[in-house]
Structure 1
Amino acid sequence: MERTSTFRERQPGRSRPPETARDDDTPLLDFQMIEELRQLDEGEGFFLRELITAFLDHAGELMQQLARAREQGDRYGVVGAVHGLKGASLNMGALALGAYCRNLERQLRANPRADLDGAMQTLLYLYDRSCQALKALGDTADAP
């Protein structure tokens, strides 16, 4: 049975997604990729948990870089942080976040003066949801 989770899903207590995020059906996580990562350590889950922890740390640093670059008006720094977050997300199986970063990076490269307010709300929403979902997987990584 294939498991999917889209960022359109709502759970009790979760905030409503920003308007710009609501119409996308990109799965939140790529469970097939995550299962392949889990299999790299013969299904024990330790390796997957380490990968998730590394992703959460690195993605958190990238989000801080993004915030600093935005505060300083450093558009190249913003693009660099979004680019890094795109790669990290796609490599970890955080599809919706990675896809959104890919599109945002293209938009910023095409129009460096684009308004970031709405884009940042969506990015923060997807980042939060992706991190929550990955943390939950990490917590159950070694469960049978």
Structure 2
Amino acid sequence: MAEIHLSRDVLSALQEVMEGEYSALLDTFLADSESRLQQLHNAQSPAQIIEAAHSFKGSSSNLGALRLAELCCLLERQAKDNPLGDVQPLIADIAGEFALVRPLYEAERQRSVTES
């Protein structure tokens, strides 16, 4: 189940590269993700949605949250192709996916701290 949401290969590679800073990277991603979600919920224009979705897509992809990145990509495309369309259901899907991956990242952070 977790493999659908997080790439273990990406996380392993990041842990190897980041070494002692790995848990800080995970913390930064979680805090940044919360901020991106707020930006999506508070966006007043398609441009704001596109910007937040693009940024969220990149960080999610870099940290192995593949499904989250995919949803952000869909939102970015939808906001570009149909700026007047209702994007709220997709933003809700992104929030739901983040709610699923957040505890997985928190467990990963705990595991990495315990191993150090």
Per the TM superposition, whether the score is higher than 0.5 is: yes
Amino acid in structure 1 at the alignment position of 2:68: L
Aligned twin of 2:30: 56
Gap change, CA 1:67 and 1:36, over 3 Å in 2: same
Assess, with a 3 A threshold, how the Cα gap between structure 1 residues 37 and 117 changes in structure 2: closer, same or farther: same
Calculate the TM-score normalised by the size of structure 1: 0.73
- Match for residue 12 of structure 2? 35
Indicate yes or no: 2:39 matched with 1:65: yes
**Map of 1:88-103 to 2, 5 A cutoff?**
88-103=59-74
**What stretches of structure 1 move > 6 A for 4+ residues in a row?**
none
Please state how far the C-alpha of 1:50 moved relative to its aligned partner: 0.8
SS of match in other structure, 1:40:
helix
| TM alignment of 1:1-144, pairs within 5 A | 5-6=2-3, 27-41=4-18, 46-69=20-43, 73-144=44-115
* Amino acid in the other structure paired with 2:11: I
Q: CA deviation at 1:127?
A: 1.3
In 1, distance between residues paired with 2:65 and 2:18? Answer: 20
Contact 1:40 1:47 in 2 (8 A): no
- Structure with more helix by fraction: 2
**Given residue 12 of structure 2, which amino acid in structure 1 is its aligned partner?**
E
Over the aligned positions, Cα root-mean-square deviation in angstroms equals: 1.6
Q: TM-score, length-normalised on structure 2? A: 0.89
> Aligned residue pairs: how many?
115
Over the matched positions of the two proteins, sequence identity in percent amounts to: 25
What is the identity, as a one-letter code, of the residue corresponding to 1:80? E
Q: Flag the structure with larger Rg.
A: 1
Q: Any gaps of 5 or more consecutive residues in structure 2? A: none
CA distance in structure 2 between the partners assigned to 1:37 and 1:97 by the alignment: 18
